[in-house]
Amino acid sequence: MEHRLNDYLERDGGWRPKAPSRLAEEIDSAVCAESECDQCGHVGMTYHPMTRGRSYRAFARCPKCRCEVEF
Q: What is the pLDDT of residues 31-40, one digit of tens each?
A: 999 999 999 9
What integer pLDDT is reported at residue 26 of this predicted model? 98
Global pTM reads 0.82
pLDDT at 1 over 60: no
Q: Check residues 6 and 58 and name the one with the higher pLDDT.
A: 58
Q: What is the pLDDT of residues 4-23, one digit of tens each?
A: 776 666 576 788 899 999 99
- Report yes or no: 26 and 45 within 8 Å, Cβ to Cβ: no
What integer pLDDT is reported at residue 3 of this predicted model? 61
Q: Is 11 exposed, middle or buried (0-12, 13-18, 19+ CB in 10 A)?
A: exposed
